[in-house]
Structure 1
């Protein structure tokens, strides 16, 4: 009897412990949630996460658009800064006496270039940027000249050489003989009295002003302009004469004009297009000239083709 009493007391003491152990091992069913198999983790079934704000998803889409635009914008500002420094080195920091600089600053403001960036470029009078002209051959045997402004001639030369080799070209001497260095006066297709100036009338005025030829631009961005070609020594005289004849001169510039043209196959034209794009993407390149139509490539990022009217100006 005594032994039975002791066993009963022990059993009563163990019941709460077993109940606790059973409770710990058993999952309490919850309404609306599936029960996982015994031994499987229930973390996935029970984990809840807050919904992402709508703005997060919106930014993930916008950044893929904004990023490339910011990069292109930065490249434009870098090129413009180099042009400012080059103009300052050639004609001084005062735009009142340096028409080249004045035109470039006007373009900078039209592109919303930060004022601090412009001022920093203007103060860099002792910069080490140098002007270089690289010669090469492009796809299909075309010749090309590449104008650059760089603070490291060796680095720039290596980069240009790499771009040419990658896109079916090669850096070599002799390409400059396919071009003539000429003065070019850009004139509007309307005179001072708002009358249209056609090519026939322009040729008559060119003879009177001492120009050698008149060309209609091959680029759509210059469709409202005419190009009066002349010898370099008479450039300013020709511009002054054209203005006195009632025309509206927009700029005067020195250019390399092809004295021959190379006809390219479709495959070579595609390769040339990739070469132009690669040169455009390199920040030290100001402009490049080719012996196939259109014969000249201007920087194109963010409509920077307007540099046709602002780079390499001759000071009045």
Structure 2
């Protein structure tokens, strides 16, 4: 001990520090402040995630519509009034210029650099029986498949055959006639002659025509040209077979499914994601977290 400094000797002789019961109570009570801050930050993150999801949904809808009008009527907005109107609305909604240019190019089957795009169909299963089909267009097939495999693996699903859960169909959605003079009965003969196999009233007064996959363009041109109805969408979709649909109830596993669907839709090469899920016991918000990322 003779070699120890004076300050260190005083420290070693100092009595142990004690904490009174009142101090202990005050220290314990302060934890509620930390919890309150944590809850506030969680709410901020939740609100931001919801806002981002809404923004992405709007952006995805614009890109699909721009791609459609570019494919149907050409990429030049000066010669394509429907494309011009959609481009103006997309810019007003804050869709980035690069996203718009990519969508226009996709309508012509190429990338913004001029490379030819290849169609890719990716299949997966989310255990035990949720079937997924992803439709994509890419100029780098190997990179895309690697990206999709990684997304699926990280979100508790597996890449495996699932198309036997679905039927391939063409679907055309026409905007409703504001004057109320044109409906399913008025377009039926023209649509059937052009290749439609079934017609039905859609949401908000729209008209939906179902076709074989190779008949969508003919139906668009025949009905749209004859009756002046705007084409809202024209897709070749994977429609789930009725006997393979899975009714889901909300739980921890469905949170993982919702995250998987959102990440698939966020991939810039992905054009559509199809699934055989149907609504079970869940709130509107819970169902929306799934349905908003499925193309049905």
TM-score normalised according to structure 1 size: 0.52
- The separation in 2 between residues aligned to 1:246 and 1:122, in whole angstroms, is 26
Partners of 2:201 and 2:126 lie apart in 1 by 25
User: Which residue of the partner structure matches residue 171 of structure 2?
Assistant: 184
**2:132 aligned with 1:144, yes or no?**
yes
The whole-number CA distance in structure 1 between the counterparts of 2:130 and 2:217 is 32
Higher relative contact order (CA 8 A, sep 6+): 1
Q: Give the unaligned 5+ runs of structure 2.
A: 1-40, 106-111, 280-287
2:174, 2:206 within 8 Å by CA — same for their partners in 1? yes
Q: Describe the SS at the equivalent of 1:212.
A: strand
Alignment-derived partner of residue 282 in structure 1: 267
Provide the residue aligned with 2:20 in structure 1.
none
Q: Is the alpha carbon distance of 1:141 and 1:64 closer, same or farther for their aligned partners in structure 2, counting shifts above 3 Å?
A: closer
Deviations 1:62-115 (A, max 9, x none): x97998668986898799789979998999753456799657635532423355
Is 2:91 the counterpart of 1:109?
yes
Q: Secondary structure at the match of 2:246?
A: coil
Q: 1:263 to 1:120 in 2, by over 3 A?
A: closer
Specify the SS of the correspondent of 1:193: coil
Map 1:56-205; keep pairs closer than 5 Å. Answer: 93-95=75-77, 105-106=87-88, 108-115=90-97, 118=100, 124-127=112-115, 130-173=118-161, 175-188=162-175, 190-191=176-177, 193-195=179-181, 197=183
The aligned residue for residue 215 of structure 2 is 234
User: Please, what is the CA RMSD of the aligned residues?
Assistant: 5.0
Compared CA separation, residues 265 and 148, structure 1 to 2 (3 A): same
Larger Rg: 1
Deviation at 1:133, TM superposition (A): 2.0
Distance 2:266 2:169 in 1: 27
Cα 1:249/1:183, change in 2 over 3 Å: farther
Q: Determine the C-alpha separation between the residues in 2 that align with 1:121 and 1:211.
A: 27
Report how many aligned residue pairs link the two structures: 232
Alpha-carbon displacement from aligned partner over 1:31-57 (angstroms, at most 9, x marks no partner): xxxxxxxxxxxxxxxxxxxxxxxxxxx
